[in-house]
Chains A and B, each alone.
Chain A
Amino acid sequence: MDTAVGSIGQDRLRTASYFVVGIALVAAVGAGAIDLPLALLPLAVLLGWSHLHSI
């Protein structure tokens, strides 16, 4: 893999990751305000997202 291309790809994936983290945390606060245990669902998604070797 070309280093420059790899670096750009890595930056884009990291930006996407920040979006996923932000959305998951906002969703957890929203779900928790409705019913506290429901907050665990977006957090479960977040824990799965950052789990490598999934492909």
Chain B
Amino acid sequence: MLAVSLYTLAGLGVTLVVGAGMGELGRAAGLAGRPVFVLAACLAIAVPLAARELGVLRFRLPERPLQTEKVWMHQFGALGAATMWGLHLSLGFFTRVNYGGFWMLTLLALGLGSPGMGAVLMGGHWVGKALSVWVAPLALRTSADGSEVVGMWESDARHYRRVQALGLAATGVVLAAWLTILAGG
């Protein structure tokens, strides 16, 4: 429980700072004053990303094809490794990115030019990622080995791709509604 809490909190801290930093970067680049352009661009990008998850389109996402270091368990112990994994995985940019939602939220965090919104988006994404570590033992009613859980998850990848597509589609609906409100003045 302590290890999972450390994993979650370490990652949350990192994602809040990174998200706020991206929002600040977007603001400095002058994107905050162009919400219509940013929302329209993100909406246009959400469509092919959702189509990719459904298998309609095939293209590679930008990623570093690396996974986190399992040897940290031996080097730092359970608590130290959980913290290190949380720090490493939450950065997102330094490990594998198999799903488009991460890049959608990254673009929004940057494009909206709001540190608060950037922190909310990237922190929310991390909470969702970390949720699997909390929910899996409850759903399985056992403290299953992490690699076993990942195996179950991966063998049902089609379901999670559909969920990712649904999340992207719902995000697209929110962006379209936001654009409509802005257009209506």
Set of chain B residues within 8 Å of A45, measured between Cβ atoms: 124-125, 127-128, 131
Q: Is the CB of A52 within 8 A of B160?
A: yes
A1 near B124: Cβ-Cβ < 8 Å: no
**Cα distance A14–B50 in the bound complex, in angstroms:** 20
Summarize B's interface: helix, strand, loop or mixed. Answer: helix
Residues of B within 8 A of A (CB): 67, 89, 95-96, 98-99, 101-102, 104-105, 108, 112, 117, 120-133, 135-136, 138-141, 144, 146, 148-157, 159-161, 163-164, 166-168, 170-171, 174, 177-178, 181
Q: How many residue-residue contacts, CB under 8 A, span A and B? A: 154
Query: Quick one: which of A14-55 are within 8 Å of B by CB?
Result: 14-17, 20-21, 24-25, 28, 32, 36-37, 39-55
Interface of A is mostly: helix
Q: Are B178 and A36 in contact (CB under 8 A)?
A: yes
What distance in Å separates the Cβ of B24 from its nearest Cβ neighbour in chain A? 17
* Residue in contact with B163 in the complex, picked from A6, A10, A41, A50, CB distance below 8 Å: A50
A21 touches B166 (CB 8 A): yes
